[in-house]
Amino acid sequence: MDTSSIIIMTLVVFGLVGFYAIGLYFNKKTPLPEECELPSLKCEHCTSVTCSYSEKNRVSIIKKDIKESLKNNKSREGALNE
Amino acid sequence: MSIANLIVLVIQGMLIQNVILTLFLGICPFMGVSKKSQSAIGMGLAVIFVMVLSSTITFAINDLILEPRELGYLQTIVFILVISGVVQFVEMFVKKTAPYIYKMLGIYLPLITTNCAILGLALIIVKPELEYGYAEMLAYTIGTALGFTLVIYIFSTIRERLENANVPKAFKGAPIALITAGIMSIIFIGFAGLV
Q: What is the pLDDT of residue B141?
A: 95
Percent of chain A whose pLDDT exceeds 90 = 12
Interface test with B, best of A6, A27, A54 (most B CBs within 10 A): A27
Q: Which of A9-18, A41-50, B92-101 has the lowest mean pLDDT?
A: A41-50
Q: Does A24 touch chain B (CB under 8 A)?
A: yes
pTM for the whole structure: 0.77
A5 against B136, higher pLDDT = B136
Asked if A40 and A25 sit in the same domain, the reply is no
Asked if A49 and A75 sit in the same domain, the reply is yes
List all residues 6 or more positions away from A40 whose beta carbon is below 8 Å from its beta carbon: A53, A54, A55, A58
**In the predicted model, what is the mean pLDDT of chain B?**
88
Q: What is the pLDDT of residue A36?
A: 64
Q: What is the pLDDT of residue B16?
A: 93
List all residues 6 or more positions away from B176 whose beta carbon is below 8 Å from its beta carbon: B162, B167
DSSP 8-class letter at B17: T
List all residues 6 or more positions away from B189 whose beta carbon is below 8 Å from its beta carbon: B21, B22
Q: How confident is the model at residue A68 (pLDDT cuts 50, 70, 90)?
A: confident
ipTM computed for the complex: 0.75
Are B102 and A36 within 8 A, CB to CB?
yes
Asked if A22 and A53 sit in the same domain, the reply is no
The shortest C-alpha distance from B10 to chain A (Å) reads 30
Whether B160 has a pLDDT exceeding 70, the answer reads yes
The domain tally of chain B equals 1
Q: How many CB atoms are closer than 10 A to CB A74? A: 10
Please list, residue by residue across A12-36, b when 16 or more beta carbons sit within 10 angstroms of its beta carbon and e when fewer do. Answer: beeebeebbeebbeebeeeeebeee
The residue of chain B nearest to residue A28, with distances taken between CA atoms, is B92
pLDDT tens digits along B35-57 = 888 878 888 888 898 899 999 99
Asked if A13 and A47 sit in the same domain, the reply is no
Q: What is the pLDDT of residue B41?
A: 86
Single out the residue of B90, B93, B94, B65 nearest to residue B79, CA to CA: B65
Backbone angles phi, psi at B131, to 5 degrees: 55, 45
Range of the domain at A77: 35-82
Closest Cβ–Cβ partner in A8, A9, A23 for B88: A23
Could you write out the DSSP letters of every residue in B104-156? HHTTHHHHHTT-HHHHHHHHHHT-TTT---HHHHHHHHHHHHHHHHHHHHHHH
Closest Cβ–Cβ partner in A35, A44, A46 for B111: A46
A44 against B189, higher pLDDT = B189
Asked if A26 and A43 sit in the same domain, the reply is no
Q: How confident is the model at residue B188 (pLDDT cuts 50, 70, 90)?
A: very high
Asked if A39 and A10 sit in the same domain, the reply is no
Asked if A42 and A26 sit in the same domain, the reply is no
Q: What is the pLDDT of residue B118?
A: 92
Q: Does A70 touch chain B (CB under 8 A)?
A: no
Interface test with B, best of A2, A12, A41, A53 (most B CBs within 10 A): A12
Asked if A50 and A63 sit in the same domain, the reply is yes
Q: What is the pLDDT of residue B12?
A: 92
Closest Cβ–Cβ partner in B66, B85, B91 for A20: B85
DSSP 8-class letter at A6: H
Q: Does A19 touch chain B (CB under 8 A)?
A: yes
Whether A39 has a pLDDT exceeding 60, the answer reads no
Q: What is the pLDDT of residue B81?
A: 92
B51-65 mean pLDDT: 93
A45 against A72, higher pLDDT = A72
Burial class of residue B70 in the structure, from the number of CB atoms within 10 Å of its CB (0-12 exposed, 13-18 middle, 19+ buried): exposed
Are A34 and B99 within 8 A, CB to CB?
yes
Asked if A41 and A80 sit in the same domain, the reply is yes
Range of the domain at B48: 3-193
Whether B73 has a pLDDT exceeding 80, the answer reads yes
Q: What is the pLDDT of residue A21?
A: 93
Asked if A48 and A70 sit in the same domain, the reply is yes
pLDDT tens digits along B125-157 = 999 888 899 999 999 999 999 999 999 999 999
pLDDT tens digits along B18-36 = 999 999 998 888 888 888 8
Residue type, B140: Y
Q: How confident is the model at residue B183 (pLDDT cuts 50, 70, 90)?
A: very high
Asked if A22 and A51 sit in the same domain, the reply is no
The domain tally of chain A equals 2
Highest mean pLDDT among B37-41, B69-73, B93-97, B150-154: B150-154
Are A35 and B70 within 8 A, CB to CB?
no
Q: Does B174 touch chain A (CB under 8 A)?
A: no
Closest Cβ–Cβ partner in B32, B85, B103 for A23: B85
Asked if A63 and A82 sit in the same domain, the reply is yes
